[in-house]
A and B are shown apart, each in its own frame.
Chain A
């Protein structure tokens, strides 16, 4: 297991966000975390990445206690790509990617760090953007740059919070293909996605959060069956069979009008 989360609870002030969450993420798979807005997906990632402290419960990353991981050991273990990123200074793309090496660098990056950054850019396919100012790139290109930055960090586990939310269909396909490839190369990828169809088409393993707790489908291998997803999202969905699985669309016959059915 790459990640073991046991009985994790967290609240912002008095507002509970996560309640007794447990999940096991297998190594080297592309795993999808799904759930409606405000269900605690981003918070769960922040707790797992160590960017938010004060949660109760236990997190193990490849058998090691998350709370005790520091510095380079932590960077080598888990990388985290926060939601939409906005830059102020027009750094060159290679400079942005190089900052992924921060945990390994004392004062100035060495040539080994430059090499790791270059390799990450090659993996993602953005070498041609190397000297371009980050602020002048399109949303899709920026997302690829931030993924290259995480790869430059060389972690075993990568958490991505809504990596495709600002991308068009072609860029979504490109990015998910890339994530799939990373998982095949042995990196554990756990991603929050909004679109359940994209998640089902590309994912190996699925997790569902609803109001801060894990929800488990009756048939874990086929979460699209039955009313499970309608229930998780609080919206009427209709499944349409597609290549041995099913795609979900809004069910317009059951009162899914502008007011919804929540």
Chain B
């Protein structure tokens, strides 16, 4: 039963991504036009004579497709990163935004947008890792990491990097200010192929390492002492999870800003669907997290003729949903 659900969830992205090509703002290209374009493409090949069909092709290939792929990559990266961090600190209340990782990566990315010679992705990653590491070490004491100190440290580190981000905005080029402000809110509406290219490699590398570590996460989730007892070094294993998780989350922040609550809430949905075993949770997080963000983006594209930044959307619908879940179930909390 669970096995078939597991595989269904892994192939879910295919129909959802195809369906999403048909979705757009009201009054733009209708689904019928896209189907007509597809038919023409299949029967007549790449060079279409009809200018209307050419316009439809342009919308599908250079507006919708990169946006859908970017939403999928970002959603999968944030969810897998959140699920892995939760296993790492043994707490289901942790996510890239909670530990300050997103704020750090956002600062790094904003810095790279303002200072021309700084590379975007490495800069976001370095500051994301710095922020996550800082939070962890602030929260660490001799008896380990307690969730209260971790969340408090995350609040402090997030605050510091948000303040630094504001300084970048104030001191930076006023012509770039609007871009940075829009991007910080968590945005997919100016998705391009170049953004997809920029995020794809770090997300793919991060996802690959997290997949390789997925069983080790089960070991780590039982405790430091328990990990050491079976012959692994918990600190080394944690770093091998923290670095790829940061890489994937920072890359998505660098191209899409802070898209809140995805990394926190979606791993819970995944665990409700396939259980707590990380050998299932991690791959399903990549697929289902991607699907989740693509669907939220479809929704935000379809209901209004103007753009609401998706980060605001995920927080607005994710917040109440998360509170409801917290109240209703125990969400995999022990005891």
The answer on A and B forming one complex is yes
Q: Is the CB of B215 within 8 A of A85?
A: no
Binds B, one of A90-98, A122-130, A235-243: A90-98
Q: A81-B229, A99-B222, A99-B230 are in contact. Are A88 and B92 (CB under 8 A)?
A: yes
Does A108 touch B at the CB level, under 8 Å?
yes
Query: Could you give, for residues 87-116 of chain A, a 1 whenever the CB lies within 8 Å of some chain B CB and a 0 otherwise?
Result: 111111001101111110101110000000
Closest to B223 in A: A85
The residue that B277 contacts in the complex, of A85, A92, A102, A135, with Cβ under 8 A, is A92
Q: Is the CB of A49 within 8 A of B229?
A: yes
Query: Could you give, for residues 176-219 of chain B, a 1 whenever the CB lies within 8 Å of some chain A CB and a 0 otherwise?
Result: 00000000000000000000000000000000000011111011
Does A72 touch B at the CB level, under 8 Å?
yes
Residues of B within 8 A of A103 (CB): 230-232
The residue that B215 contacts in the complex, of A51, A87, A88, A105, with Cβ under 8 A, is A105
Does B50 touch A at the CB level, under 8 Å?
no
Does B275 touch A at the CB level, under 8 Å?
yes
Closest to A109 in B: B215
Q: Is the CB of B277 within 8 A of A86?
A: no
Residues of A within 8 A of B230 (CB): 75, 79, 99-103, 149, 153
Query: Could you give, for residues 31-56 of chain B, a 1 whenever the CB lies within 8 Å of some chain A CB and a 0 otherwise?
Result: 00000000000000000000000000
- Best-buried of B213, B275, B279, B334 by chain A (most CB within 10 Å): B334
Residues of B within 8 A of A109 (CB): 215
Q: How large is the interface on B (under 10, 10 to 19, 20 to 34, 35 or more residues)?
A: 20 to 34
Q: Is the CB of A102 within 8 A of B216?
A: yes
Q: Is the CB of B91 within 8 A of A88?
A: yes
Would you list which residues of chain B between 251 and 308 have a CB under 8 Å from chain A? 271, 275-277, 279
Q: A82-B226, A91-B277 are in contact. Are A74 and B231 (CB under 8 A)?
A: yes
Closest to B216 in A: A102
Residues of B within 8 A of A101 (CB): 230
Q: Is the CB of B229 within 8 A of A82?
A: yes
Does A80 touch B at the CB level, under 8 Å?
yes
Q: Is the CB of B334 within 8 A of A95?
A: no
Residues of A within 8 A of B92 (CB): 88-89
Q: Is the CB of B218 within 8 A of A95?
A: yes
Q: A85-B223, A91-B218, A108-B215 are in contact. Are A51 and B275 (CB under 8 A)?
A: no
Q: Is the CB of B222 within 8 A of A87?
A: yes
The residue that A88 contacts in the complex, of B216, B219, B221, with Cβ under 8 A, is B221
Q: Is the CB of B332 within 8 A of A107?
A: no
A108-B214 Cα distance, complex, nearest whole Å: 8
Closest to B333 in A: A88
Residues of B within 8 A of A88 (CB): 90-92, 221, 332-334
Q: Is the CB of A89 within 8 A of B215?
A: no
Subset of 17 A-B contacts with CB under 8 Å: A49-B228, A50-B228, A51-B228, A75-B230, A80-B229, A82-B225, A87-B334, A88-B91, A90-B332, A91-B218, A91-B221, A95-B277, A99-B219, A99-B222, A102-B230, A103-B231, A107-B215
A interface list, Cβ under 8 A from B: 49-51, 71-72, 74-75, 79-82, 85-92, 95-96, 98-103, 105, 107-109, 135, 149-150, 153
Interchain residue pairs A-B with the least CB separation, the first 10: A103-B231, A75-B231, A89-B276, A135-B334, A102-B230, A80-B229, A82-B225, A99-B219, A88-B334, A51-B228
